[in-house]
């Protein structure tokens, strides 16, 4: 496997930044990542984080972390803390540049007063439904509010009284006075402030009017000296409003550039829908390992390196497209193949007794920790007369082309000996409960001495192994595009989680640290759960299986 780093592909945003620096439009690069603290970050945010922080690093600039905390009804300190944790986990740091839109509430208010004085904003009494009705359509112009002609003096008075809390929620708004016939609906007198008598997680009850995102966004960028304000494509139609506010105020003007958001198959990215999954108990929380949140991916065993690699591979584009979740799995599989220590684990145990192995004897056999990493060394694995093997590794009678254990057939036990099945023990229903074998003492290490032994299976010593609970995760949704289904909850994958109790793992794992990752030979990649425990004391989450569907897709397409 090649370890050479891939050259970073160029894209239209990087090209724009280079041009701006060469022409002198900007002297440096200042970006910002502006999450709303109303939920946990997901894999789509990782793409934006990698772009915002990555460009700043590449051009020797800086990236700000700024919370867009303008809607106190849906925001909390829990989300603020989780977002900071996730950004750091991905490997990025904002240094001293941590900001909040709420830092600028007074300045935003003062600028709103400036627009009122200039006759470019007014207090409106229309309800939210009436505002929508008056806005018009894409083919028909809007209708001016009957309150649009209020005098500057009356607007200043009403706006100040809004701030003092004299009016109930929803009874008045402050709107920009632009053009109700504009082709862009965002320019049809957009709302700048609404009344919301809700305590804010940072400012408490100091304010009862809060700025809309479009009003806070560009001005916050301007205050911080942001050069390139990078947004997802849904904000492209908002850019003329972004520009209008900055120009109307006559303040420093950053450049907004839009890019396509990440759409991942078998996943929903809407925070509203993710919140629904959490609140309705359809998942165990924001950090459920089936969720596309960074907290969920981390708990499942994904590495920040794999996620950054994924973000780099999907690139930056102008057009929306759907990325196969198999690519994300390929990236973590490739990363863990290099770093994860190998261990043996039996998920569905079947007792195997070696009849000619001495009673009470225990050997320590040498096993490789990671064939991809020569520095990882080896470990000693205990071997005894009674072992556990996978139920699927024995069949009686065997199906066609079955090369694992069956009556009269020989197989290698990984790192150990060649054994031959001599018989089975069955329960009253006829199910196999024990396999009897003999071993060849001269075959230690798997030496077949000229015999053709096709199968190799893994095992653990029954008396030395550790009991564990293993959780097998699959896609949360059963269709590639759940967002296109009328009821997205109707296509939840009923088999997205399978919990196996009574699994047996190597004794080395007894003291495994939460979050540590392993490849279970012939099984996949697993992570010690960071939150939960079971009666066995050890819970392991499957990160991804060994089968790489993306690699097969790439090969088929000739990449």
CA gap 115, 123 in Å, rounded: 12
Is 410 in the active site? no
pLDDT value of residue 175: 98
Q: Pick the catalytic residue: 66, 202, 271, 333?
A: 271
Structural contact between residues 349 and 389, judged by C-beta atoms closer than 8 angstroms: yes
pLDDT value of residue 533: 62
pLDDT value of residue 3: 45
Give tens-digit pLDDT for 213-255. 999 999 999 999 999 999 999 999 999 999 999 999 999 999 9
The DSSP call for residue 8 is P
CA gap 357, 441 in Å, rounded: 9
Is 261 in the active site? yes
What are the CA-CA distances from residue 43 to residues 8, 50, 196, 253, 280 (Å)?
20, 11, 31, 30, 22
Is 27 in the active site? no
Q: Pick the catalytic residue: 135, 261, 348, 351?
A: 261
pLDDT value of residue 534: 62
Print pLDDT tens along the chain (559 aa): 344 445 666 899 999 999 999 999 999 999 999 999 999 999 999 999 999 999 999 999 999 999 999 999 999 999 999 999 999 999 999 999 999 999 999 999 999 999 999 999 999 999 999 999 999 999 999 999 999 999 999 999 999 999 999 999 999 999 999 999 999 999 999 999 999 999 999 999 999 999 999 999 999 999 999 999 999 999 999 999 999 999 999 999 999 999 999 999 999 999 999 999 999 999 999 999 999 999 999 999 999 999 999 999 999 999 988 999 999 999 999 999 999 999 999 999 999 999 999 999 999 999 999 999 989 999 999 999 999 999 999 999 999 999 999 999 999 999 999 999 999 999 999 999 999 999 999 999 877 777 889 899 999 999 999 999 999 999 999 999 999 999 999 999 999 999 999 999 999 999 899 999 999 999 999 999 987 666 667 999 999 999 887 766 666 555 5
Q: With the C-alpha atoms ordered 458, 461, 462, 468, is the resulting torsion angle positive or negative?
A: negative
pLDDT value of residue 446: 74
pLDDT value of residue 4: 47
Q: What is the CATH number of domain 271-341+468-557?
A: 2.40.240.10
| Topology alike, domains 21-259 and 345-458 | no
Question: Which SS3 state, helix, strand or coil, does residue 262 take?
Answer: coil
The DSSP call for residue 265 is T
What are the CA-CA distances from residue 23 to residues 20, 26, 28, 320, 324 (Å)?
5, 8, 12, 30, 39
CA gap 380, 367 in Å, rounded: 6
What are the CA-CA distances from residue 3 to residues 6, 183, 335, 355, 524 (Å)?
9, 52, 11, 47, 22
pLDDT value of residue 6: 52
Q: What is the CATH number of domain 345-458?
A: 2.40.240.10
pLDDT value of residue 2: 41
Q: Which H or E run includes 342?
A: strand 341-343
Q: What is the CATH number of domain 21-259?
A: 3.40.50.620
CA gap 28, 61 in Å, rounded: 6
Structural domain boundaries in the chain = 21-259, 271-341+468-557, 345-458
What are the CA-CA distances from residue 115 to residues 18, 38, 119, 187, 310 (Å)?
35, 30, 6, 15, 45
pLDDT value of residue 532: 67
Q: Among residues 478, 417, 407, 479, which one has the least CA distance to residue 448?
A: 417
Model pTM score: 0.92
Residues 77-81: contacts with CB under 8 Å, at least 24 apart: 77/37, 77/201, 79/37, 79/38, 79/39, 79/40, 80/37, 80/201
In terms of DSSP bridges, do strands 62-67 and 30-33 run parallel, antiparallel, or are they unpaired?
parallel
């Amino acid at each position: 496997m090649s370890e050479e780093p891939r050259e970073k592909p160029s894209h239209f945003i990087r090209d724009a930044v280079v041009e701006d620096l060469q022409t002198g439009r900007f002297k440096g690069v200042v970006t910002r990542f502006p999450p709303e603290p109303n939920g946990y970050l997901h894999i789509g945010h990782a793409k934006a984080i990698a772009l915002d922080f990555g460009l700043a690093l590449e051009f020797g600039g800086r990236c700000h972390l700024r919370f867009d905390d303008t809607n106190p009804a849906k925001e909390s300190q829990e989300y603020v803390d989780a977002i900071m944790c996730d950004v750091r986990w991905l490997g990025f740091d904002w240094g001293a540049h941590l900001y909040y839109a709420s830092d600028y509430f007074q300045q935003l208010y003062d600028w709103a007063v400036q627009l009122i004085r200039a006759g470019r904003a007014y207090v409106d009494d229309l309800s939210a439904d009436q505002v929508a009705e008056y806005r018009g359509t894409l083919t028909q112009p809007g209708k001016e509010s009957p309150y649009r002609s209020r005098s500057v003096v009356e607007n200043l008075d009403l706006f100040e009284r809004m701030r003092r809390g004299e009016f109930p929620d929803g009874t008045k708004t402050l709107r920009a006075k632009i053009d109700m016939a504009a082709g862009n609906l965002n320019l049809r007198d957009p709302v700048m402030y609404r009344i919301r008598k809700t305590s804010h997680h940072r400012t408490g009850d100091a304010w009862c009017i809060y700025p809309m995102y479009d009003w806070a966004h560009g001005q916050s960028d301007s205050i911080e000296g942001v050069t390139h304000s990078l947004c997802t494509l849904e904000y492209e139609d908002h850019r003329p409003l972004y520009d209008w506010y900055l120009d109307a105020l006559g303040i420093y003007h950053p450049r907004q550039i839009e890019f396509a958001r990440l759409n991942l198959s078998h996943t929903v990215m809407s925070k509203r829908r993710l919140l629904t999954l959490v609140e309705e108990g359809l998942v165990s929380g924001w950090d459920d390992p089936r969720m596309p949140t960074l907290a969920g991916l981390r708990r499942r065993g994904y590495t920040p390196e794999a996620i950054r690699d994924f973000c780099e591979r999907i690139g930056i584009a102008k057009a929306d497209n759907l990325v196969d979740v198999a690519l994300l799995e390929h990236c973590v599989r490739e990363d863990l193949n290099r770093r994860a220590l190998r261990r043996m684990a039996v998920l569905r145990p079947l007792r195997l007794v070696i009849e000619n192995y001495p009673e009470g004897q225990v050997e320590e056999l040498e096993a490789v920790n990671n064939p991809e990493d020569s520095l990882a060394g080896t470990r000693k694995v205990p071997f005894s007369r009674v072992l556990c093997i996978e139920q699927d590794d024995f069949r009686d009678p065997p199906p066609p082309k079955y090369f694992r254990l069956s009556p009269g057939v020989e197989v290698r036990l990984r790192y150990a000996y060649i054994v031959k099945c001599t018989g089975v023990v069955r329960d009253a229903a006829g199910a196999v409960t024990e396999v009897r074998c003999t071993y060849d003492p001269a075959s230690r290490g798997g030496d077949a001495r000229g015999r053709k032994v096709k199968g190799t299976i893994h095992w653990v010593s029954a008396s030395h192994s550790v009991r564990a609970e293993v959780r097998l995760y699959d896609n949360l949704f059963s269709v590639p595009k759940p967002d296109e289904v009328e009821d997205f909850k109707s296509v939840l994958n009923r088999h997205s989680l399978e919990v196996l109790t009574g699994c047996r793992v190597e004794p080395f794992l007894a003291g495994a640290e939460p979050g540590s990752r392993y490849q279970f030979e012939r099984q996949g990649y697993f992570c010690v759960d960071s939150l939960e425990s079971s009666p066995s004391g050890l819970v392991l989450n499957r990160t991804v299986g060994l089968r790489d569907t993306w690699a097969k897709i790439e090969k088929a397409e000739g990449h």
